Each structure stands twice: as C-alpha cells, then as structure tokens.
Amino acid sequence: MKMSEPPVATMVRLDIQNFTLSRGRHAVLDRVTLSLPAGRTLGLLGESGAGKSTLAMAIIGLLQAPEVGLEGSLRFDGEELVNLPETKFRALRGSRIGLIFQDASAALDPCFTIGQQICEPLKRHLGLDDEQAVQRAVDLLTSVGIPDARSRLAAYPHQLSGGMQQRVMISIALACNPELLIADEPTSALDVTIQAQIMELIMNRVRALGSSAIFVLHDLALASQVCDDIAVLYAGQIVETGPASVVLGRPLHPYTVGLRSCVVELDSEELQPLSGNVPSLSEMPDGCRFCTRCPHAIDLCAQERPPLETWDGRQVACWMVDRLMEQA
C-alpha cells in the first residue's frame, strides 16, 4: 500500500512574538503576537491610534532604538529584526520588503525625477546598469497603468496627479519583487473613483509575485475583499485575529463587533458607533485596554490582561468571550 506523503508545512514569512514598542514609560504596542504565512495577505484594522502604522514602521525598521524601546521578537524569514543594524535594514528595504506609504505626494522626493527614484533601488539592490534600470522602470510604470511611461521618467512628482503618484509609489515598492509588501492606507489620499483601481492593481501585482502583504486599513469592507487574514488592534493590543471571513463575518470580541456595527457594506443590522474614547497612554488600564469602553466589562478586565486564545476558528483576547458566544 502506498504511503501518503506528509503535508508540506507553510513557510512563515513574518513571525511576531510578544513584541512591545515603548515611548518613554508607555507601551504604544503591547506584547503583539502575529504570524503571516508566505503568500497570504493580512489586514491590520482598528481606529486611528490603534498602533497599525506604528507596527508597520517597526517591521521595516523606521522605528528603532534609541528613539523607541523595543522588546520581544520580529522575525522575517527567520531573521530577527529587533535591534537589526541599520546597514542590514537598508539591504532589506526596497529589496525584500516593499512599502507603500499613505500619501505618495509626501513620500516621493520632490527634488528628484520619477526615473531617478525608481532606478536607484534597481541599481542598488539588483545591480542593473543605467540602461537596464531605465528599461525596467519603463516596464514597471507601464505595468501599473501609466501611459507614455518613458517620457514620465523625466517628470517630477508635482507634475503628476495624485493617482499617478500613487502608481509610481507602487512601482517603487514592487520594483525588486519583494517577498513582503507593506501598504499603509494606500488609497486614503485618493479620490474614491480610483481607489478600487489602485487596490486591484496592488493585489494583481502581489499575486503575480507570490508575495505576502500587510495592509493597514480603516475600511472593513475593503479588508474583507482583499485580505486573507485580519488582526484587530485596539490601543496597541491584538484583540482578535484569524481568517477574514471568520473575524469579519461573525466577530467575537466586543471591539470587533463595535467596528463592524459601523459599516453599512458589511450588512450590519443596526449601525451603532462606538461609545467613549481611547484612554491616553498614561491612563491605560493594566488589563484589557478596551475595558473602559466595553459594555460587557467586569472588574477582572481592568485588572488582568486576557490571553489571546483560540475560539471558534480565530484567536480572541477577552475574559467574557465564552458568555458572549452563549448569548450570540
């Protein structure tokens, strides 16, 4: 009888374990634990100030000691990123890890042409000569839908529309075929009429490369369309994480439920905005940081942080989740 082959283990592209980022005495990110397999897309969701962009900036090495305090582990393809020397981060950025900033007009250098900004990482990371880099830049701009791409290489950022600038940013981020793409609110600065085009463009390129991707988003409806997995952050803590269809389809943590209730596109039965405000870092409770706004909180919630445990196909950090499941 033929023996069946053991299943092939999925490679973990990014492994985050108990990662804490502090400013002074206060933890902006508090013991974050996440795992991103190769070839999958992860959406980071939460209100402004949840820590989504901070986590993205830490992964790519734009927040480092001594500016901030770092504890725990960030491993990219097995390599530890916490306290990685800047020289090694420079070898990763733009090469193996790409970043699409929220506002391309602010991220692109106004003093250099589009061609210079695309060709520089191609020559540095891929070793292309001038002619090869120019041809690759033309191909990249063409692939993201920029007409007359060769002539655009001589343009400066201010000479392009916002949508064109974002397409250039995508070209730069994907120029060296990175294994991991981080997109920080990549369409929020754009007109709604081209947001869908830009997201489709990014997803097509990510899938074509077989890359993993992290999307920092506010839009839950968009996250449900483009993300395989979801991680919900509140005030620097992961409160719920798992497959997008599970987390957004039937959320368990009270915060995720509150976020979903604000979104018409997810067919919420009753639109109800979250009450209260996020506490300041100096006033954060010792336990669950959402307890000051949670309608189900008990004394334990403010005193002891709940562990991130598996419930119904996802991980949830909530002392009351078993009771909430019974009421659902």
Q: Where exactly are the structural domains of the chain?
A: 12-327
Which pLDDT score, from 0 to 100, does residue 233 have?
97
4 pLDDT higher than 60: no
Closest CA to 239 of 18, 26, 46: 46
Q: Tell me what pLDDT residue 311 has.
A: 94
Nearest residue to 214 via CA among 45, 10, 32:
45
**Closest by alpha carbon to 234, among 168, 198, 279?**
279
pLDDT at 237 over 90: yes
pLDDT score of 68 more than 90 = yes
By percentage, how much of the chain surpasses pLDDT 90?
Answer: 69
Single out the residue of 210, 201, 139 nearest to residue 166, CA to CA.
201
Q: What confidence category does residue 143 fall into, taking pLDDT thresholds of 50, 70 and 90?
A: confident
Average pLDDT of span 276-296? 91
Instruction: HSE, CB side, 13 Å, CA atoms: give it for residue 324.
Output: 21
* 77: three-class secondary structure by DSSP: coil
- Contact criterion met (CB below 8 Å) for 32 and 236: yes
What's the CATH number of domain 12-327, 3.20.20.70, 3.40.50.300, 3.40.50.360, 3.40.50.620?
3.40.50.300
Give the Cα separation of 87 and 93 in Å (integer). 10
CA distance 273 to 319: 23
What's 109-147 look like in SS3?
A: CCCCCHHHHHHHHHHHHHCCCHHHHHHHHHHHHHHCCCC
Distances (CA, A) of 84 to 16, 62, 171: 15, 11, 26
pLDDT band at 7 (very low <50, low <70, confident <90, very high): very low
**Is 187 within 8 Å of 179 (Cβ atoms)?**
no
In angstroms, the Cα distances linking 214 to 69, 77, 98, 110, 174 are 23, 15, 10, 27, 14
Considering all CA atoms of the chain, what is the largest pairwise distance in Å, rounded to the nearest integer? Answer: 69
Q: Using alpha carbons, select from 208, 209, 207 the residue that is nearest to residue 228.
A: 207
Q: Are 21 and 69 within 8 A, CB to CB?
A: yes
Higher pLDDT, 190 or 137: 137
User: Is 50 exceeded by the pLDDT of residue 223?
Assistant: yes
Q: What pLDDT band is residue 6 in, cutting at 50, 70 and 90?
A: very low
